[in-house]
Structure 1
Amino acid sequence: MYVLTKPARLSVDRVSVHTGLHPDMVRRFAALGLIECAVDDSGRLWFPPGTVARIARIQRLRGGLSLNYNAVGLVLDLLDRIRVLEAQVRGSEPS
């Protein structure tokens, strides 16, 4: 069976498999606010599909720049702001 669409959300176990992180580390990233998640009525965590790419970015920042997780969070916030600003500039440029 082949999956033709991306799932709307990923479980902790699925994120763990795709990133190579232990499920407890995935939960820790969520607790630190490094990745977004939603909690269902039974208390299970669910992650958006972009979580795997975000964790890859976290791992590159942590490994490549030797940043602690607080600094990684700050850098991620700044990169997100830059992306938004760049999109705004592109949208305001004349065609």
Structure 2
Amino acid sequence: MTAAPRPGGAHRRTATPVPRPVLNIVVRAAPLGPAHRLGLDAVATRSGLHPELVRRFVTLGLVDATRDATGRLWFEPSAPATLARIQRLRAALPLNYASLGLVLDLLDRISELEDALRRSNAGSRSDESWI
């Protein structure tokens, strides 16, 4: 028995299907730079600031960054949070950006002292457990 003719005179073929070729898609990602670091554009985008303002903050010492051999700026992953902190302080206090560096240093020092106090209190509580 033969296959029934299809309209237009074409016969249905019963051959085995031909496997489709596998497509290998290559996607080029932006260079990652040093491990666990963010580039200037990524930090600016995440913080919602213009890259030139981020560069100014680096120049003023408000946010830490390193330069690679090509001169590109690289930031710690915490840089967007630091930039948000700077913006909040700037909005709340009538200070210029340069003087905010002093405020940031004082706030960091207060946090360090509070952490040390918590550690010492936690150690003294365990010593007083016999009372």
**TM-score, normalised with respect to structure 2:** 0.65
Q: SS of the residue aligned with 1:89? A: helix
Distance (Å, rounded) in 2 between the aligned partners of 1:89 and 1:8: 31
Distance (Å, rounded) in 2 between the aligned partners of 1:88 and 1:64: 28
Q: SS of the residue aligned with 2:63? A: coil
Distance (Å, rounded) in 1 between the aligned partners of 2:87 and 2:105: 15
Larger CA Rg, structure 1 vs 2: 2
Could you list the runs of 5+ residues in structure 2 that have no partner in the other structure? 1-34, 126-131
RMSD: 1.1
Which of 99, 106, 114 is 1:71 aligned to? 99
Which of 57, 67, 81 is 1:39 aligned to? 67
Q: What code does the residue aligned with 1:38 have?
A: T
Percent identity over the alignment?
54
In the alignment, is residue 48 of structure 1 matched against residue 76 of structure 2?
yes
Answer 1 or 2: which has greater helix percent.
Answer: 1
**TM-score, normalised with respect to structure 1:** 0.88
Counterparts of 1:1-95 in structure 2 under 5 Å?
8-93=36-121, 94-95=124-125
